[in-house]
Amino acid sequence: MPAAGALPANIHCAHDYEDLARQALEPAVFAHLAGGAGRDVAVRNNRAAFEALKITPRVLRDLKAGSTRLSLGGEARPHPIWLGPVAFQALFHAGAEVETARAAAAVGAGLVASTLSSVTLEEIAAAAGPDRWFQLYVQPAREATLDLVRRAEAAGYRALVVTVDAPVHAPGLTSLRAGFRGGQASANLAGWTAPEAAPAPGESRVFQGLMPAAPTWADIDWLRAQTALPLWLKGVMHPDDARAALAAGVDGLVVSNHGGRELDSAPSSLSALPPVRAAVGESFPLLFDGGIRCGEDVFKAIALGADGVMLGRLQAWALAAAGALGVGHMIKLLREELEVCMALAGCVDLADIRRAEVRAETWAGKEGPC
C-alpha cells in the first residue's frame, strides 16, 4: 500500500484500484462493497451490458479542439464525471467522506453526499467544492426529512437527489456469507428515531411492517413544494416512471439499478437508459449510474443517452487504497481514458458521442444496433 501522500504504485487504469482496495480492506467489508443484492446477478449484468457494446473507430478527423466540457442544469463543468452517493465511507477510510469531498474539489468532479454518511453533511460541505449535491433518503417522519433539506440548503448544496429505488433493502448473500453485519449509524440522522411499525399477527413484515414508511409520489410532490433547490430522482428505470417524474416537476433523473444492490433480477442500468431517454426527450437532464469501470464505459453511457455518469464502487475502491489522493487520481485516469476513447472514435465533444456508432456484438459474431 502507498505511504501517506503518495500515489499507489502499479496503477495503470482507474479499475486497478479494485485490487488495491482488496488488499486494504477487511475481507467482509470488501465483500460488502463488491457484492450486490441476492446472488449478485444484477451486478454481473451491469458489467455484461457494457462489455457487449462495441464502439466503431473513426479516422482522420480534426480533433485538436476536443473537449469533455458540458453544461448541465445551467452550470458549466469540465467533464461528465460525478462522485455518486456512497454510504458510510468510514468503512473504507478513516477520513471518510471528507477525503472524497477534497478529491472532488481538486479535480472538478460533482459530488453527491449521502444521507447515510459517516460524517455530517456540514462537514462534507466544508471540504467540498461548490459543485456539491445532497442525496436524500425520505425519512418516515416528514420533520426529519425537512430537517435534512433545510440543513442541505444552509450548507450550500446545489441540488437534492432523492433515491427512490430502495423502499426496502434486499439482503446481499455475498456480504452476509462473508460475515458483514453492518451496524453503522448515519451522522446526519443523530437525534432522529424512526418509528417502528409492528405488523399484526398474520400480516406481512414487508407490506404492513416496512412499506407504510416508504415514500410515494405524494412525498415527491410535497418535497417539490418545500424547496427551491433542483430536485433529481435517482433509481428510475422505467419510461412510465420517467414520464411521471416529468409530470411531478423534477429537474433531472439518474438511471440506476442501485449498482445491483436492490432488485437482483433488475435489468442492467445501461439497458434502461435508451428507453428512459426516449421518454423524457433529448434536452432533459439525465445521469447514469451502474457498472462504470473505465473511460470507454463513460463513452458508452453517453452514447446511449446520458449527460454524465456517477461513480460508486470505483470511488470507494480508490478511497480505500489512497484516500483523497487516490480518488482524485482515479478520476484523472478515468477522464483521460474517456478522452482517448473519444479520439479513437473520432468524437470532438460529448455531443459528438451521441452520434457515434455503438452496437451490440455477441461471441457468435451477430450484431445489432443499440
Q: Is 91 helix (H, G, I), strand (E, B) or coil?
A: helix
The catalytic residues are: 258
C-alpha cell at 293: 469501470
Q: Is 136 helix (H, G, I), strand (E, B) or coil?
A: strand
Alpha-helix runs per DSSP H in the chain: 17-24, 27-34, 41-52, 96-107, 121-127, 142-154, 173-177, 217-226, 239-247, 269-280, 295-303, 313-345, 350-353
The shares of helix, strand and coil residues in the chain, as percent rounded to the nearest 5, are 40, 15, 45
DSSP state of 172: B
Residues composing the chain: 370
Mode of pairing for the β-strands spanning 53-55 and 358-361: antiparallel
Q: Do 261 and 234 touch, CB atoms closer than 8 A? A: no
C-alpha cell at 237: 428505470
